[in-house]
Chains A and B, each alone.
Chain A
Amino acid sequence: MASITEDTARAEKPATHKGPLIYRQSIFTRVTHWVWAICLFFLLLSGLNIFDAHPTLYIGQQSGFTNLQTGDQHLDNQWLDIGAINTDNGPRGQTTILGHSFDTTAIGLGVSGDPANPDFRGFPASVTIPSYYDLATARVIHFFFAWILVATLLVWLVASVFNRHIAGIPPTPRDLKHLPRDILNHLRLRFEHGRQYNVLQKLAYSAVFFILFPLIILTGITMSPGMDTTLPWLVELFGGRQTARSIHFLTMSAFVLFFIIHIIMVVLAGPFNELRQMITGRYRAGADVVFDPGKGDKP
């Protein structure tokens, strides 16, 4: 009974930052967070340039193609294709997903740039590094930041096991019991500002650390013919190199979705307080948080 009363009280309390200035993020969490932000920025934009080299995704080991000499296609296993078609109104960008085609000229997929001299590529110059199509250079950038990402993830993992930061990420059964209440509070834009992440945060960060990061790294490694000789089970695990390439792309899309929600939540929850937390480690907690100098709090 007591917990219900406490929950009701908490839900009805307006979101304020009247509590102590708590020490919430260690130096390892803060530094790796910003290194990842830089890495993911370059990995995403160089990755889209790499994708432009062959803007088609398949299921399985290999890529079904049409024989240019005979016009035959024996293997049709593509599920996504970003290309261009000729129409009476000039070239149009066309994106085909699972057999359904959409005109994507307006968002720059397939055809982009100056209409008088269009670029025929999957993703447009505005979202790729380099801006022009250059597979060789995009690969140099992609692999450089991939190494930095993996190295900093390892640093974070070791530090977070020792400082117990990682223990605070997976939601506990008790957290999950509060899930409906937490969703309701988020919908009313009432956020908790406690020492711990709320359950939706825990779910989002768990998805990033325990699903998205491992998936994007392992599918990336699976695409390497050199690594396939060392870790042949990876190709089996993902159901083929081209499926791995598809999963790599979908995981990237999930990261982009996470990034958009992440930024919206930072703005809604108080951008100054949230940014201060990720720079200085200190976070202005809600009024219900008890001041505890033993945890590094300041009034």
Chain B
Amino acid sequence: MSDKLILNRRRLLGLGAASVSTLLLAGCDQFDDLVGQGDNSVRGYLEKANDLTYRVQRLLQGPNALAREYTEADIRQGMRPNGSTDPQGDDYLALKANNFADYKLKITGLVNKELSFSLADLKGMTSRTQITRHDCVEGWSCIAKWTGPQLGPILDQAGIKAEAKYCLYHCYDTMDGGLSGQVPYYETSDLLDAHHPQTILAYGMNGADLPIANGAPIRVRIERALGYKQPKYVHTIELVSGFANVGGGKGGYWEDNGYDWYAGI
């Protein structure tokens, strides 16, 4: 009886070892269909871990935990440009030709009063300067100094309606949208990040005007998140209750391409 049992176990172990080695020999494309982009339930299940990360990190952070601020000595190089570095849309080129004198930042959507600010208006506001580390989702980091007014007080001035849950950042630059051709870059953040003390509308970088390659005239800094949550060339901030009907419905250009919405890790 016990011999038979051992044989069965032995066979079971053998089968297990054989299937593991087949898997390894066949290469890792075994998993491609299960986890790849597009609709499939396995990937949807795995993505729940990102919701958990978002909830747990928000719980631990509280509303105002600050990203680390560095010193002037830590600025060792220029700010590395990535993604769009020179938008070619007609509207943007016209603004650029006039050195952004005609630029307007609009606050729209679920607000009591829609607002519009010129670059001079924004530069006239109380500003915050912070030297922070920019972390790209690819893995690299770069330290730079950013200057601009905080977004929170501007949103308060517009008066956020109760049903608003997110800020939707519309940008001038376009990205490859596959079959859709070029699509505008956009991002969303929760209102906690929008009101965070370090969330600023940066018009200055490393002591000069924000360069075109880094998002001129305005780049939103959301310092607790990765680089793709720092939209460049922003022209409109729309308060929305959800973003299912915007773009690919995932809350941002990179999110529509499979990246996690939270972007805090």
Chain A residues near B (Cβ < 8 Å):
45, 50-51, 53-54, 56, 58, 61-65, 67, 73-75, 125-132, 134-137, 139-141, 143-144, 146-147, 223-230, 232, 235, 241-242, 245, 272, 275-276, 279-280
Contact = CB atoms under 8 A, between A and B. Distances in A.
A275 B61 CA distance: 43
Contact of A143 (B136, B254, B265): B265
B142 A136 contact: no
A135 B67 contact: no
- Interface SS of chain A: helix
Interface size class of B (residues with CB under 8 A): 35 or more
Nearest to B262: A226
A193 B242 CA distance: 62
Interface in B64-78: 65-68, 70, 74, 76-78
Contacts of A139: 137, 259-260
Given A53-B139, A225-B224, A140 B47 contact: yes
Contact of A54 (B31, B70, B140, B226): B140
A225 B66 CA distance: 10
A225 B225 contact: yes
A129 B32 CA distance: 7
A63 B36 contact: no
Given A61-B141, A144-B49, A229-B67, A130 B225 contact: no
A231 to B, nearest CB: 8
10 contacts: A53-B138, A61-B141, A61-B143, A62-B143, A127-B28, A131-B32, A134-B36, A140-B47, A144-B47, A229-B61
Contacts of B43: 137, 140
B37 A230 contact: no
B60 interface: yes
Interface stretch (B50-58, B102-110, B233-241): B50-58
